[in-house]
Amino acid sequence: MPPFFRLSLRKGEKAMDLGIFLGITLLAVTFLSLLRQTRPELAVLLSAAAGVIIFLRLIGPLQELVRTFEYLAAQAQINLVYLQTVFRVMGVAYLTGFTAQICRDAGEGALALKLEMAGKVIILFLAVPVLVAILETVLRML
C-alpha cells in the first residue's frame, strides 16, 4: 500500500460512508417533492445544492484515488504527463456533466447540450498531446 492511503479519515470514521449519501439524497428528495409544485425555482437550487454536497463528500476519497494512481504510475515509471491528462479529462467530464445536469433539471436541455459540446471540445483539446505522442511512436516504428 502507498504510505499516504488512509482507509479512515478520522478514528472510527470511514472514508467512504455509504449511509451519508443515502441520507442526503433521501432528505433532498423529501424536500424537493414539497417544493417542486409551489416553488420550482427553489427546487432547482435545492437539487443543485444536494448534488454539490454529494460531490464535495466524494472529493476526499477521489483525491486519495488520484494520488494512488500517481504513485502506481511513478512505480511503473510511466510518464506522469499522460496520467495528468487522464485526470484532467476526468475533471472536465465531471464538472461539465454536473453542470449540464443542473441545466436539465431547470428544463434547459438545449443549454445542457451546448455545455456538453464545450466539454467534449475541451477534452479533445486536452487529448491532443497524447494523440500526437501515439502517432509519433507509430511513425518511429515504421
Partner 1 sequence: MPDINIIFKIAGVGILISILNMVLKQADKEEQAQMLTLVGVVVVLLLVIQLIQRLFHDVRAVFGL
The binding site for partner 1 (CB under 8 A) comprises 23-24, 27-28, 31, 34-35, 38-39, 41-43, 45-46, 48-50, 52-53, 55-57, 59, 62-63, 66, 84, 87-88, 90-92, 94-95, 98
Q: Nearest approach, Cβ of 11 to partner 1 (angstroms)?
A: 18
Nearer to partner 1, 11 or 140 (CB): 11
Q: What is the CA radius of gyration of the chain?
A: 20
**Is residue 6 classed as helix, strand or coil in its secondary structure?**
coil
Contact 76, 25 (CB under 8 A): no
Nearer to partner 1, 63 or 136 (CB): 63
Nearer to partner 1, 53 or 133 (CB): 53
Integer angstrom CA distances of residue 3 from 6, 7, 71, 87? 8, 11, 10, 21
Q: Nearest approach, Cβ of 113 to partner 1 (angstroms)?
A: 21
Q: Nearest approach, Cβ of 60 to partner 1 (angstroms)?
A: 9
Nearer to partner 1, 19 or 141 (CB): 19
- Tell me how far apart the alpha carbons of residues 81 and 142 are, in angstroms, rounded to a whole number: 25
Count CA atoms within 13 Å of residue 73 on its CB side. Answer: 16
Nearer to partner 1, 81 or 135 (CB): 81
- Tell me how far apart the alpha carbons of residues 59 and 51 are, in angstroms, rounded to a whole number: 12
Q: Nearest approach, Cβ of 114 to partner 1 (angstroms)?
A: 19
Contact 107, 49 (CB under 8 A): no
